[in-house]
């Protein structure tokens, strides 16, 4: 190569070196330069979007924080209001009592209906007992028996129901029913005087004086001073014409001060033809200020007939 060619080549290389110093891509080939530009643009775009996303996220976080603080503040205000309300509330008992009374007076209480369906076993029991007593008072004995039986099926802890059923059977003249329920009653209350007396009367009504006497004698052994037992036992012996035994029983009653004993004793003396003893008793009774005028008239007629 000539010297001129070498000089031109060196100059060209110097010029290219200067360009390289001015721009970093000056020595890069065109294709590589294009690729680098695209990469730079992508990186720039990602950086921009990342920045935008960060800013949006930060704003949203700030909004949520502000909203949370607002809710906390509102809750705190509500609690404070409630506290203040409780502190300011005062209860005046007299005023409350007055308001309660007024409210109770304003309530309409429906009348009790005997035909209302009871809610439980206890109310059913009370319902049937009330119905039975009402029917018994009104003389509807069969209805009363029916209601007492229903009450007994619900509650078997009160044997007095059995006695009432037996007594009502006696009143309607069904003495077998009286016997049946009295025996059930006496299994529970074995020494009940009124039940023994009613059982004896039932046997007597059925024409079984022997059983009646056995029951009354047992009752007399348990209750030797019971007026009703003594009187009924005396009448039973008097009816059987066992006058001496009847006289002894009536004498016990008379000595106890019972009018029934003195009247029974006077009758026995009459039947024994002891008019003197009978008159003595009748005159004493006639002077008694506590007897009724009707009885006094009867005694007076007795005195006249025996004199």
Domain finish residue from 39, 58, 75: 75
Would you say residue 222 has pLDDT above 90?
A: yes
Would you say residue 152 has pLDDT above 60?
A: yes
Mean pLDDT of the chain: 78
Alpha helices in 138-226 (DSSP H): 141-154, 160-171, 175-188, 193-205, 209-222
CATH number (domain holding residue 142): 1.25.40.10
Residue 35 lies in a domain: yes
β strands within 184-296, DSSP E: none
Among 43-47, 59-63, 88-92, 272-276, name the one with the lowest average pLDDT.
Answer: 88-92
207 and 295 both lie in a single domain: no
219 and 250 both lie in a single domain: no
210 and 269 both lie in a single domain: no
Residue 154 lies in a domain: yes
- CB-based burial of residue 134 (10 Å sphere; 0-12 exposed, 13-18 middle, 19+ buried)? middle
215 and 292 both lie in a single domain: no
pLDDT category of residue 21 using cuts at 50, 70 and 90: very low
Domain finish residue from 180, 195, 223: 223
Question: How does pLDDT run across 111-144, given as a tens digit for each residue?
Answer: 444 445 545 667 899 999 999 999 999 999 999 9
Integer Cα distance of 163 and 130 in angstroms: 16
Domain finish residue from 223, 258, 285: 223
Terminal Cα distance for the chain, rounded: 203
| Domain containing residue 189 | 121-223
Inter-residue contact 209 to 244 (CB < 8 Å): no
Using CA atoms in the order 161, 167, 170, 175, what is the torsion angle rounded to 10 degrees? 50
Residue 215 lies in a domain: yes
What letter does residue 1 receive in the DSSP assignment? -
Residue 207 lies in a domain: yes
Integer Cα distance of 261 and 35 in angstroms: 147
Residue 110 lies in a domain: no
pLDDT category of residue 109 using cuts at 50, 70 and 90: very low
Integer Cα distance of 266 and 282 in angstroms: 7
Residue 60 lies in a domain: yes
Where is mean pLDDT largest: 104-108, 181-185, 291-295? 181-185
158 and 250 both lie in a single domain: no
125 and 216 both lie in a single domain: yes
252 and 298 both lie in a single domain: yes
70 and 125 both lie in a single domain: no
135 and 201 both lie in a single domain: yes
Nearest of 261, 251, 303, 297 to residue 279 by alpha carbon: 303
At 20 the pLDDT is 46
Among 107-111, 221-225, 251-255, name the one with the lowest average pLDDT.
Answer: 107-111
Q: Tell which wins on pLDDT, 302 or 57.
A: 302
At 306 the pLDDT is 85
pLDDT above 70 covers what percent of the chain? Answer: 61
Residue 120: in which H helix or E strand, if any? none
At 141 the pLDDT is 96
Number of domains in the chain: 3
At 307 the pLDDT is 82
Question: How does pLDDT run across 61-92, given as a tens digit for each residue?
Answer: 655 565 666 566 666 555 554 554 434 433 34
132 and 212 both lie in a single domain: yes
127 and 61 both lie in a single domain: no
pLDDT category of residue 297 using cuts at 50, 70 and 90: very high
Residue 196 lies in a domain: yes
Residue 5 lies in a domain: no
25 and 68 both lie in a single domain: yes
Q: Mean per-residue pLDDT for 206-212?
A: 94
Residues near 178 by beta carbon (within 8 Å), at least 6 away in sequence = 166, 167, 169, 170, 198, 199, 202
């Amino acid at each position: 190569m000539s010297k001129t060619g070498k000089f031109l080549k060196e100059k060209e290389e110097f010029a290219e070196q200067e360009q390289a110093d001015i721009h970093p891509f000056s020595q890069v080939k065109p294709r590589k330069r294009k690729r680098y530009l695209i990469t730079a643009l992508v990186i720039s775009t990602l950086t921009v979007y990342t920045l935008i996303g960060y800013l949006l996220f930060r704003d949203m976080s700030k909004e949520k924080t502000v909203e949370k603080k607002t809710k906390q503040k509102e809750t705190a205000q509500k609690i404070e209001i409630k506290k203040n309300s409780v502190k300011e509330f005062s209860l005046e008992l007299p005023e409350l009592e007055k308001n309660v009374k007024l409210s109770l007076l304003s309530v309409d209480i429906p009348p009790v209906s005997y035909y209302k369906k009871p809610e439980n076993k206890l109310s059913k029991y009370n319902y049937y007992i009330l119905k039975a007593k009402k029917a018994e008072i009104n003389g509807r004995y069969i209805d009363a028996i029916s209601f007492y039986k229903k009450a007994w099926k619900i509650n078997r802890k009160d044997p007095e129901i059995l006695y009432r059923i037996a007594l009502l059977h006696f009143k309607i003249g069904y003495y077998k029913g009286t016997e049946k329920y009295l025996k059930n009653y006496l299994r529970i209350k074995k020494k009940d005087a009124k039940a023994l007396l009613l059982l004896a009367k039932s046997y007597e009504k059925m024409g079984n004086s022997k059983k009646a006497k056995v029951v009354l004698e047992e009752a007399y052994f348990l209750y030797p001073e019971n007026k009703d037992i003594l009187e009924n036992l005396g009448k039973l012996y008097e009816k059987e014409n066992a006058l001496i035994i009847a006289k002894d029983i009536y004498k016990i009653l008379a000595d106890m001060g019972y009018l029934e004993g003195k009247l029974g004793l006077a009758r026995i003396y009459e039947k024994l033809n002891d008019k003197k003893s009978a008159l003595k008793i009748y005159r004493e009774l006639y002077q008694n200020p506590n007897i009724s005028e009707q009885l006094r008239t009867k005694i007076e007629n007795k005195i006249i007939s025996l004199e």
